[in-house]
Amino acid sequence: MFADSPYAESDPSIKSGQVIYADADANKPGESLIRTVLLADNSRWDFSAGSFVHDPKSAGDRWAYLSGNHDGNSDLYVSIGGAAAVRVARGVIDFDITPSCVVFSRDETVYAYVFADNKTYVLSETGTNAQFVMAGGDLALWRDMTDPALPLWKYIKVVG
């Protein structure tokens, strides 16, 4: 049970036939485990993240998570195929993961870190107030709140 724990505030993810969630690593105080349950056969395993984990999400063998609670101090980490997690961005507010990329927001801008070339691309227009909403398949969706009286929904295809 997660009573009075930061892990109670961390959302689980159910995608790609698996449930993943963050939990404390009893053997390493201050660090987290990403716990995985495969829905097909109920098999389970743990991934030692080596840092604090918040809101882990998966897309097949690719995982992403924040190192904090959606604030300017939260870094975005990615692990592919169970390899050690790599920080791909700092100051991340929100994110989502697809099989080809992880889409995230910081400083009112939406970005995509593409796995195929390990590069980060700006998706939203510069100088706007872009609020990331979600990513799925090969699309990223956000709201342009530059004019709060007239919010615009925008999306783009992200090719990996």
Residue-wise pLDDT for 92-128, tens only, equals 999 999 999 999 999 999 999 999 999 999 999 999 9
The answer on 144 and 76 residing in a single domain is: no
CB atoms within 10 A of CB 37: 16
The answer on 77 and 43 residing in a single domain is: yes
Domain end call among 37, 64, 92 = 92
The answer on 117 and 76 residing in a single domain is: no
The answer on 160 and 82 residing in a single domain is: no
Domain end call among 40, 65, 92 = 92
Q: How many domains does the chain have?
A: 2
pLDDT in tens, 1-59: 445 567 767 899 998 889 999 999 999 988 999 999 999 999 999 999 888 999 999 99
Is the confidence at residue 129, as pLDDT, over 70?
yes
Range(s) of the domain holding residue 19: 1-92
The answer on 73 and 122 residing in a single domain is: no
The answer on 86 and 44 residing in a single domain is: yes
The answer on 14 and 76 residing in a single domain is: yes
The answer on 106 and 160 residing in a single domain is: yes
